[in-house]
A and B are shown apart, each in its own frame.
Chain A
Amino acid sequence: MEDIESRNIANLEMETDKKKILEVKNLKTYFYTEEGVVKAVDGVSFNMYEDEVLGLVGETGCGKSVTALSILQLVRAPGEIEEGEVIFKNVDLLTLKKKKMRDYRGKDITMIFQDPLNSLNPVMTVGTQVKEVFELHQREEIYELLDQKMLEWKNKQNRIKELEKKLEDNETNQRLTKEEISDIKNEIEKLEEETRDRPTYRSILREKSRKILEEVGIPDPEEILERYPHELSGGMRQRVMISMALSCNPSILIADEPTTALDVTIQAQILDLMKDLKNEYKTSVLMITHDLGVIAEICDRVAVMYSGNIVEYATATNLFKNPRHPYTKGLISAIPTLDKKKKELDTIRGSVPNLIYPPEGCRFHPRCDYRLEVCDKVRPLLTQIGESYFVACHLFDPQYKDSPKYEWGKEELERTRKI
């Protein structure tokens, strides 16, 4: 079993000329609760490529957020990362010490959350918090900038002195024309204006914060910097979060349901903004959502999660054109859309399994309409079935093509009846 798994994982390459930037291999994260071991993430593997958006989609509790937290080593007790590798720039992040990890977090890999109000500090102004991020990760850059600005400032001061000297000299030798004198006076005035405030660490921070807020489309950033998070609307808060996440120009941005708490028109604004920023900053994004619409809107690749596993992994275009995994199919046909003028929506029988005692074999088998005899005995692994297309389902495994279809018992059907 282990053997097959490792073989399988090595093959999880997409056909693309983009550079691989993050590799998650066989990640397992369990929670040791009183009721038992919750296998929240149970062997998840995927790759992220440069300058691409990967969507991680699935229903509540399937392990999306835990996957994200594991990548950043933010899983709290009773959670434990059991096994797996998260390879970023040739380093396995999971082997790093807490302190070392902190260097990556917020700088190379940043995360934004569903409810920005909870992740912003309610008793600090927006400005203070944005500045804090810069201070935490870009202190050296700021000092460099400060030195540079200081130099400029001094040069300007010297220039003023020079010009003043010229004027003074002119008192005695009267060599300058009237026009020249007024030019010089103007220049002095301009320079004095520019050098009124000596550049300080704080003023640079402030300028940087203002710029980054402007970047994410916040009108009147000066004023917003003075406000407290609860004084902003949801969309505005999410913009602030995004600006903070992008402030260090990270390679990877993990966005956990960034638009779920927002209204439709604001969601459209934020998705639009994320698209623009992604193109501008060349950041790879891991977009976590339960909304297939968001995935279709913004993602290049999609990984569909069910009960702690990835069951389908493909390019967004192919996945929506022809979803293969029975779960993905069920999910897509359960969504009311405008072209489905039907009386009844299709539903998936039964309900999401318990993660303490997950079903044997394929975790979807108690709900699957296409179930084979083998499905409750052998666990399907993600395997390639086409160009950049991976599915974990026995239907697509040539080895089981002769396995008979499972006959649902009458009682069983009744118990998991579709409604």
Chain B
Amino acid sequence: MTIVEEQSIEIPKKREKEANSKRDNVILRVENMKTYYPIIGGFFKRRIGEVKAVDGVSFKLHRRETIGLVGESGCGKTTIANTILNLVPITKGRVYYKGKVILKSTETKEVLKEILSSITFSTIMDSVSYFFIAKMKKLLEKLEIELFHLFQKLKIIISYFPEKIREKISNFLYRTAKRYFRSKSSFKNKIRRNIQMVFQDPDASLNPRMKIVDIIGEPLKLLKNITGRRKLRKRVLELLNVVSLKREHLDRYPHEFSGGQKQRIIIARALACDPEIIILDEPTSALDVSVQAQILNLLKNLQKRFDLSYIFITHDLSVVHHIADRIKVMYLGKFVEEGTVDDIFNNPSHPYTKALLSARPTFDPTLRRERIILEGDVPSPINPPAGCPFNPRCQEKDKHIGCGIDEPRKIKIEGDSEEHFIFCLPFIEEKKSYKGWQFISD
């Protein structure tokens, strides 16, 4: 009757081998991605600056592998996901899917115009005063906002309406968005089908007024053109079985499910179009540990069964250790360390990674170690510190040269796997040797 013992030490080795064998099996490649959000303000509601939410990251995702993106809130993890899915416009850089460019910069202004023009002539005309619409339109036009922000803004505006009208407007917006996505080219459609996303908050991503069969059936109808009711129900049932839900759940509404079950439904919906890549944004952060364990197991099974590639976003190092093959540690819009799971956990080399690992609580109260406690808060990406963005909090900056001035450089850590890199600056010579480090000039 003890806590579960280690059962096997074989797995990670095998994993690594597998990763090696599929080296050239790259399915998604992100090249120097930069995503900046405009800051709107001032008297004229103009762009007065930008938030550098993602500031130059590159990585490759191979078939059947899981990349873990780790970092504290606000470091830009979700923004990477949203950018890949084209939910926010990419500022610079490219994204390749199976060797083809799928993202450069986008023409969201067009979309904005389309939506704005249809708002005025819409069905809500008769239920909302014309005055208000005109005002809203003016407001929206003034703001130089992109599609994603537009929806966020609208959500807030809509919340001021009485319930009945709110519903009408939401439905209308929803239909417009649907029309917009349908009209996109078939290539875009295919990508949308092949890259799916699972969000953190199960409640926010399920429409409370829709039955489960419609929720999961929706992408089937929209993206796969399955229309027959019978066929649809059959396929949805298959999907429900895959995530261990039952026939009786088909006609229920989201509020009748627990958090873990809701997350299963969302995973089923993501699976509906046979995707190749699923981006999971903190899929278990809102769940209890025992439910989290179930979902993590489920995700692992599905990956094997359907040859999926995951980008797994989390702030929980134990979870990422459990599920990922390779890890990218992020801080203020940039990667600070990347490598295989073993690289990162056995030989964390960047000061921030070390601090993160040390802040992680252990389960042995007798083993309360001396922790590295970082000073201060995460700085804002609006005004990132000069030089290395980590330097105001870095516990090792005294040992390095130029932290507050120079941009960090990519350094290969020798002795580990081929892919272990950190982004840091050289040591002050006397204090420590460069042994095991190799600078990569750029």
- A interface, CB within 8 angstroms of B: 59-60, 219, 233, 235-236, 263-269, 272, 290-294, 296-297, 299, 316-317, 320, 322-324, 329-348, 351-352, 417-419
Contact = CB atoms under 8 A, between A and B. Distances in A.
A233 to B, nearest CB: 5
Given A264-B360, A320-B365, 17 more contacts: A235-B377, A263-B378, A264-B356, A265-B72, A265-B359, A293-B362, A323-B3, A336-B322, A338-B321, A339-B6, A340-B4, A341-B9, A343-B8, A343-B11, A347-B297, A351-B258, A419-B298
22 contacts: A233-B377, A264-B315, A265-B355, A266-B377, A268-B359, A268-B373, A269-B373, A291-B361, A297-B368, A299-B365, A329-B1, A329-B3, A331-B290, A336-B323, A340-B4, A341-B6, A341-B7, A343-B8, A345-B296, A345-B297, A346-B4, A352-B258
Interface in B362-392: 362-366, 368, 371, 373-374, 376-378
Nearest to B358: A268
A320 B290 contact: no
A351 B260 contact: yes
A290 B361 CA distance: 13
A293 B6 contact: no
Contacts of B360: 264, 293
Interface string B238-266: 00000010000000000000111100000
B127 interface: no
Contacts, number: 143
A230 to B, nearest CB: 14
Interface in B206-246: 244
Contact of A265 (B290, B297, B374): B374
Nearest to A415: B246
Contact of A417 (B7, B244, B356, B365): B244
B297 A344 contact: yes
Contacts of B315: 263-264
Contacts of B244: 417, 419
B16 to A, nearest CB: 13
A272 B345 CA distance: 23
Interface string B21-43: 00000000000000000000000
A330 B290 CA distance: 8
A269 B374 contact: yes
B318 A296 contact: no
A126 to B, nearest CB: 15
Contacts of A233: 377-378
Contact of B345 (A336, A338, A351): A338
A334 B293 contact: yes
A415 B5 CA distance: 28
B363 A332 contact: yes
A317 B365 contact: yes
B126 interface: no
What is the size category of the interface that chain B forms with chain A?
A: 35 or more
B12 interface: yes
A317 B261 CA distance: 34
B288 interface: yes
Interface string B78-112: 00000000000000000000000000000000000
A60 B373 contact: no
5 tightest A-B contacts by CB? A293-B361, A336-B322, A268-B359, A334-B293, A263-B72
Given A263-B73, A320-B365, A272 B373 contact: yes
A361 to B, nearest CB: 21
A333 B363 contact: no
A266 B7 CA distance: 34
* Max count, chain B CB within 10 A of own CB: residue among A263, A317, A343: A263
A291 B316 CA distance: 12
A316 B362 CA distance: 12
A59 B290 contact: yes
A316 B365 CA distance: 7
Given A269-B374, A334-B289, A294 B361 contact: yes
A332 B317 CA distance: 16
Nearest to B368: A297
A342 B376 CA distance: 36
B319 interface: yes
B2 interface: yes
Nearest to B366: A317
Interface string B331-345: 000000000000001
A266 B377 CA distance: 7
B400 to A, nearest CB: 20
Contacts of B371: 268, 272
Contacts of B12: 341
A154 B9 CA distance: 76
B294 interface: yes
Contacts of A335: 289, 293, 318, 363
Contacts of B298: 419
Contacts of A317: 365-366
Contacts of B8: 341-343
Contacts of B368: 296-297
Nearest to B246: A415
B11 A341 contact: yes
A351 B291 CA distance: 8
A216 B5 CA distance: 40
B300 interface: yes
B3 A332 contact: yes
B347 interface: no
B343 to A, nearest CB: 14
Nearest to B375: A269
B344 to A, nearest CB: 11
Given A269-B374, A290-B289, A264 B345 contact: no
A347 B290 contact: yes
Contact of A343 (B293, B300, B355, B359): B300
Contacts of B377: 233, 235-236, 266
B292 interface: yes
A330 B397 CA distance: 43
A59 B361 CA distance: 18
* Max count, chain A CB within 10 A of own CB: residue among B288, B317, B345, B365: B365
A329 to B, nearest CB: 7
B290 A296 contact: no
Contact of A348 (B3, B4, B290, B345): B290
Nearest to A352: B258
Given A269-B373, A341-B8, A336 B293 contact: yes
A333 B4 contact: yes
A324 B259 CA distance: 28
A347 B3 contact: no
B367 to A, nearest CB: 8
A342 B363 contact: no
A338 B363 CA distance: 11
Contacts of A235: 377
A340 to B, nearest CB: 7
Contacts of A268: 358-359, 371, 373-374
B363 A336 contact: no
A320 B363 contact: yes
A322 B297 contact: no
Contacts of A290: 288-289
